[in-house]
Structure 1
Amino acid sequence: MGCGSSAPAVDSNIVDDETASPLNKDEFSKTPHLLVDGVCSCDVAQGELGDCWFLSACAAIARDKQMMSRVMRDIIDIDMTAEDYSGKLTFHFWRFGQWKTVTIDDLLPSKNSKLLFSSCENPDEFWLPLLEKAYAKLHGTYEALEGGFEMDGMVDLTGGLAEIYMVAGQPMSIDTEKLYFKRLYRAMENGAFLTCGRTGMRPEIADGLVNGHAYTITNVAFVQVADRVEPFRLLRIRNPWASSMEWNGDWSDTDQERWSKVSDEVRARIGYKSVNDDGEFWMAFEDFRREFSTFSICTLGPDLNDDLWTDDPQKTKIHYMYGEWRGSSAGGATESSNPHSSNPQYLISIAQPDDDDPDGDLSVVIALMQMYRRKNITSMVEFRSIGFRIYKQTEKDRKITEEEVDSPLEGSGMYLPIREVTGRFEMKPGSYILIPSTANAGEDNKFMLRFYAAKPLIFQEI
């Protein structure tokens, strides 16, 4: 995991000049390229910076060359060996509802003529360390990338919608377990981006897995063997360390007893490779749900009807709304001097249900994102615990009063200290009031609401 650089945000100073080497000379490679055979999850290798959350997101997005090309669209065809190569590179990141452009030079932190932070598997390829540098510049310093959530990295690289699921330590019925695996399986089939993580403050290692560490899910498969009726539910997972630090239990690279029962045809279908020490491994979902704390799914559009298939983004109506909790409008979610009803309130007016919905409901997904400036990480600026509640509006143009705040119809659930919380709801035509808030009163912050539905609706502050 290692340490980070505390250099300021100015590009010429984002790394210490004494340790930076220019990429287009011989310090790293005599034939440097941005890309060699395109991007690949297998390119990603973490260095001495604790940004596994961002690198696992990079590895997830690298499965979709078109999406990663969007991030590097201005430089995708650049020739770093050409005489007219300027040494300037431009990347694009989605930030709080808008795509931001970041331009960097190609100086990269080094130690003993080797890259200090992330690197690509091919020593002549540099898209990853340059992308990491641009992301560090976006946030002010490399140090600002120490620690985070994979879902935030995936959203910043795609502008998509990410949801986090709690796994280890959570009571889970057999039906819920089946649903979670099916959700992962469908998400992978549907081109979504998947990551997972283990909690823990220290990087202790058990069974080859690292605590306090983020991973990428690179495949999800049902695997049939000859002597069993039910197929095994397996996940292929990648450690961004790209090393021998891998799961060593059932279905691991060294478990030839189980893999010997899988036919060559099935192995080829799921992309099985008996390669040790590359950071990628298979494991059963039963072990996964015990060993991993969370998994995250990022899609470009929501699964509105919860059929485990992402809806066509071209047919989805997306509404954005920006707001702020400040002073008397930072009412929190509990009893305080600032009542909950003093938070900003938003009208949701639904006129039509989904086509052919048997219950006459409209499926909607609501996402609440708080603005968070990672460059303040050295000042111990932390996420607020956020969430939202939905109420039925009983009278036109009327806000929810303090006497009504304890009777919401729906909500995002537990208020969580993460950048974005989401909820999926079935709502009948009518008028509703949404109240987003922090858990505690008096916590000023800006926020953004995203509202997804397949039918037009009215969404406005009242």
Structure 2
Amino acid sequence: MGSSTTSSRSSSQPQEPEPRKRVKKQPPQQTVDQLWEAFTTKYPGKVHSILPNNVFAETKAAKAPKGIVRGEKAGKSYDEAVAECKSAVEKIAKECRRVNMKYRDPHFDIEFDLKMNVRDCLDGLVRGDSTYELSPKSVKRVTQIFEDPVFFQEGATASDVRQGRDGDCWFMSALCALGGKQDLIDKVCIAREEKVGVYGFVFHRDGEWIQTIIDDKLYLIASDWDESMDEKWTWQQINRADAEEEYRKSNQTGSRALYFAQCRSENETWLPLLEKAYAKAHGDYNSIQGGFTGEAIEDLTGGVTTELFTSDILDTDKFWTDEIMKVNQEFLFGCATGVFDNWQGENWMTDRKDIVSMHAYSILAAKEVKGERLLRVRNPWGKFEWKGAWSDGSEQWTPEWMQLLDHKFGDDGMFWISYKDLLRKFQSFDRTRLFGPEWSVTQQWTTIDIPWSADYNDTKFSVTLTEPSPVVIVLSKLDERYFQALEGQYSFSLHFRLEKDGEHDYIVRSHGNYLMDRSVSVDLDLEPGTYSVLMKIVAKRISYRDSPEQVIRDTCRDRQDKLIQIGLAYDLAHAKGKVKETDAEKKSREEHEAKQKEIHHKKRREELRAKWLKNWEVQKKRVARQKRHAKRKEEHDRKVEARKAVTAAALEENATVGKDDANAGADDKIEAVDQQDNAQVTENGVQETPAVTDGPSKVEEAQTAIPETSEVQPAASQDNTATKSAELARDAPESAKDAATMLSPPPDEPADESQPVDNEIKPDNVASEKAAEFEAALQNVPSVLVTGALPNGNTAGTAPGTAVATVPGTVPPPSTVAEDNTWEFDSLASFESSIDTDLDLPPIEPTPPEGADVALGALGSSAPIPEEENENQIFEDDPWNAVCVVGLRVYSRSKDTSILIVRPKSEIEGETELDVDDNSKGASGEVSGKDKDGEDKNEEEDDIKTEVKEGIPDNIGTV
């Protein structure tokens, strides 16, 4: 009912037509070019510093290597981190003993964080991003949890590891893998003072080792006795001597009471403390949820991980002999399955015989016994084992095999599986190469702008080997896990290819990763020489992510401490990406800029010179037209005065004659004067024709007496009505005609002066109308036309500095025009001021745009004309701005391996020069100089104008 009423009401009222949108018509290719121009930012850049005035990041950036970097021992950075970590732990322990207090970590105080419900140690910078809801109930120190705490109990082994309630199975799997090799975990757990409660660890991050110091507080599953109201009441109902103590021993004592990772032994502490240190290094426990085993192994060992898929293995026998059999010696392995499966429902585990999909496992050992290829694998959960061949209790196990493989049954998450079943049930492997003291590492970092259409970047790395060596080349980006929520709106996948200088074909390309996108690598043997590493980085826009600027804006008020914590990690990581010029690059840049400036100056000089000369020619034509107008006006005024003088003389001479005879005589004389005045007008003035000789008369004397200077005085008027009518009749037509000629726009070419001037006397009835038109027209005549004023302030026919008064509606006194046709400015400055100065003509009304008449007719004259919609506005407001910090590490056994960053090159006047003002330089945000539309350009333009003006001769304005 309501809808029909609305319909009838709307139909009865006239519909206002929608304004027609203006459509800019242009070729399709131009539209596409404009779209891409708006799509990509004109100012590429990346935030390199989150915190204001971050001294630590600035100091680190200043110490970052630049230029050619030569190799160091792979363990040198590790040794430095170990020394710093031990020194820090020792200082803290001394301080705590001095004040008789246990160590409380001020930067990661989990007890205060939980009690005050701050949750900075649990949640990330942006809340709500947690995969799992982390909800521990209480916090206790190690001495309060364990009755007889011990850091290591018979060493750190894979069997000790049990995952807690965090989603860090990938990290636990890595620890299992390290547990299979002697002393690997000992190299991570560096220093400790257990009585004071301080522990020091080192981790590998972005090509360098970092230290992390923590206290001994750990999260527990159960609440404290005084805070657990429901459980407290239940325990109080049990008839016990001390319900509180019983509750503490049952719920808050031993490894089983820990909320996160726990050792198998009830009193062993290394695993939960190491997990806590790893979480602190990354900011919080939420940041270590989800990952890949290979990445964690890299962080714990400094190795290099390659992602391998079972379907991509070319020779499985070679893979077994050359790689799998070297586990715990040269390589460590993690494995997983279901990464590409669309699994769901209750059969997500049983379909693979209890191999858990999307879960990380570690390979602990590989043995080939009696023709059987078998592998020992562990689930970091400590349960859910393989149920196929060679599983616990399967028919393959005999007492002999139990002894050969030293295996015991038990649901501890550890099982054996055949190589054939391993390849069948697991889809991917994380293979991590380990480096000993015989290896050296060289690395360089830079920042580059990534285009939307991926291709090999102009910036590349140049690697020089001095001797044959096995080489591992790693191209990596920053580990974004350390600064989650600040990683930006782009994800990057890395690729590179290796070429030897002087050869056309490439040697090898990096193995692309589907899952582990932090780095790509190749492992090969190289001969001495210089090699180029060309990078191809693909950027993807992630629309739901916020930019670092937006995250800072949203968190700086209410999450200050957390932003400082994550921002510091961000700044320290990005410090190495700031592009710093070497001395050679600075010299090349200055030479390049000097050449570019000279080229730009030369081009601009030519453009300005051509523009100014063109304007000068236009001004000469305008001044020439003004001169001709002034000459015509002067001749017209002279003729008018001559007619008046002739008329007066004729009246005086024939005073005694009758009125008719006098008028007839005057007409005859006037006709004679007209015949004389009808001369041919040239550019130099009026060419006189032979005069009619009727003998001396007062008319001739009066005509001869007419002055030819600019100071002509009008003849005395007669009190004769007929004479005044005749004067007006003669004046009006010529004046109106002349005014109309002056008001018309000047032609492009000079008018043809050979045509005679129309001096015909119109009848009196027409003269009055023309006179009125003439008087009205003079009101709109510009002063520049009336006075004949030149652009330099002079007047046509007057000397410089002579003032000519102009009153609207009046005709100025005639002046003398120079016989030559020379027009010169007083100075070059007066010429410059005249450029682009047009005659002061009335403005031309603009033509309404297409469709405007329709819109105005429909909506009324007050309706605005719709502006053209910019289809590229969405790109201009949020353009493509993908900038990535990348580094190249080269591991080799060569004594002297060096890396140099090579910037893009450009051709300048036939020469190839270094162009350091490239996309990588712009991406770093350290471009020298000002914006192209800023002050530098204006100053440069002024310099060019000065040079051009000095090069123009003074007589260039001569016609």
TM-score category (smaller protein):
0.7 to 0.9
The structure 1 residue matched to 2:218, chosen from 108, 113, 117, is 108
1:41 aligns with 2:158: yes
Equivalence for 1:349:
464
1:130 aligns with 2:237: no
- Which structure 2 residue ranges, 5 or more long, are not aligned? 1-105, 116-135, 223-251, 541-880, 903-959
If the length of structure 1 is used for normalisation, what is the TM-score? Answer: 0.78
From the superposition, tell whether residues 394 and 128 of structure 1 become closer, same or farther in structure 2 (CA, over 3 Å).
Answer: same
- 2:204·2:298 contact (CA, 8 Å) conserved in 1? yes
Deviation at 1:135, TM superposition (A): 0.5
From the superposition, tell whether residues 171 and 25 of structure 1 become closer, same or farther in structure 2 (CA, over 3 Å).
Answer: closer
Q: Which has the higher contact order (CA 8 A, sep 6+)?
A: 2
Deviation at 1:349, TM superposition (A): 2.8
In 2, Cα distance between the equivalents of 1:394 and 1:140? 47
Equivalence for 2:282:
139
Equivalence for 1:373:
480
Deviation at 1:378, TM superposition (A): 5.4
Deviation at 1:373, TM superposition (A): 2.3
- 1:441-452 maps to which residues of 2 (within 5 A)? 443-452=882-891
Q: 1:435 aligns to what SS in structure 2?
A: strand
Equivalence for 1:228:
none
Equivalence for 2:532:
433
Deviation at 1:290, TM superposition (A): 1.4
Deviation at 1:234, TM superposition (A): 0.9
From the superposition, tell whether residues 61 and 108 of structure 1 become closer, same or farther in structure 2 (CA, over 3 Å).
Answer: same
Higher helix proportion? 2
The structure 2 residue matched to 1:412, chosen from 479, 493, 510, is 510
Q: 1:68 aligns to what SS in structure 2?
A: coil
Deviation at 1:270, TM superposition (A): 3.0
1:20 aligns with 2:138: yes
In 1, Cα distance between the equivalents of 2:456 and 2:471? 24
- 2:499·2:508 contact (CA, 8 Å) conserved in 1? yes
Greater Cα shift, 203-212 or 287-296: 203-212
From the superposition, tell whether residues 234 and 425 of structure 1 become closer, same or farther in structure 2 (CA, over 3 Å).
Answer: same
- 1:43-442 maps to which residues of 2 (within 5 A)? 43-75=160-192, 78=193, 80=194, 85-112=195-222, 113=252, 114-167=257-310, 170=311, 172=313, 176-188=315-327, 190=329, 192-200=331-339, 204-206=348-350, 207-224=353-370, 231-243=371-383, 245-255=384-394, 257-260=395-398, 264=400, 267-273=402-408, 275-301=409-435, 313-325=436-448, 327=449, 330-331=450-451, 335=453, 340-342=456-458, 344-353=459-468, 362-377=469-484, 384-394=492-502, 408-414=506-512, 416=514, 417-440=516-539
Structure of greater Rg: 2
In 2, Cα distance between the equivalents of 1:281 and 1:147? 24
From the superposition, tell whether residues 143 and 249 of structure 1 become closer, same or farther in structure 2 (CA, over 3 Å).
Answer: same
Greater Cα shift, 60-69 or 441-450: 441-450
Deviations 1:206-233 (A, max 9, x none): 3011011001111111121xxxxxx111
In 2, Cα distance between the equivalents of 1:349 and 1:162? 23
Deviations 1:120-142 (A, max 9, x none): 00011111111111101111111
If the length of structure 2 is used for normalisation, what is the TM-score? Answer: 0.39
Equivalence for 1:357:
none
Name the amino acid aligned to 2:357: N
Q: 1:288 aligns to what SS in structure 2?
A: helix
In 2, Cα distance between the equivalents of 1:366 and 1:191? 17
In 1, Cα distance between the equivalents of 2:460 and 2:161? 43
- 1:415·1:439 contact (CA, 8 Å) conserved in 2? no
From the superposition, tell whether residues 383 and 232 of structure 1 become closer, same or farther in structure 2 (CA, over 3 Å).
Answer: farther
Name the amino acid aligned to 2:201: F
Q: 1:461 aligns to what SS in structure 2?
A: strand
Count of residues paired in the alignment: 393
Name the amino acid aligned to 2:499: Y
- 1:166·1:295 contact (CA, 8 Å) conserved in 2? yes
Deviations 1:296-325 (A, max 9, x none): 232322xxxxxxxxxxx3333422222222
From the superposition, tell whether residues 375 and 93 of structure 1 become closer, same or farther in structure 2 (CA, over 3 Å).
Answer: closer
In 1, Cα distance between the equivalents of 2:513 and 2:172? 27
Q: Which runs of 4+ in 1 moved over 6 A?
A: 379-382
Equivalence for 2:898:
458
- 1:386·1:437 contact (CA, 8 Å) conserved in 2? yes
In 2, Cα distance between the equivalents of 1:317 and 1:32? 39
The structure 2 residue matched to 1:29, chosen from 146, 159, 170, is 146
Higher strand proportion? 1
In 2, Cα distance between the equivalents of 1:457 and 1:130? 38
From the superposition, tell whether residues 427 and 89 of structure 1 become closer, same or farther in structure 2 (CA, over 3 Å).
Answer: closer
In 1, Cα distance between the equivalents of 2:508 and 2:139? 55
- 2:313·2:319 contact (CA, 8 Å) conserved in 1? no
Q: 1:241 aligns to what SS in structure 2?
A: coil
Q: 2:190 aligns to what SS in structure 1?
A: coil
- 2:463·2:533 contact (CA, 8 Å) conserved in 1? yes
Deviation at 1:96, TM superposition (A): 1.3
Name the amino acid aligned to 2:137: T
Q: 2:457 aligns to what SS in structure 1?
A: helix
- Which structure 1 residue ranges, 5 or more long, are not aligned? 1-8, 225-230, 302-312, 354-361, 396-403
Deviation at 1:163, TM superposition (A): 2.3
Equivalence for 2:40:
none
- 1:164·1:296 contact (CA, 8 Å) conserved in 2? yes
Q: 1:234 aligns to what SS in structure 2?
A: strand
From the superposition, tell whether residues 315 and 430 of structure 1 become closer, same or farther in structure 2 (CA, over 3 Å).
Answer: same
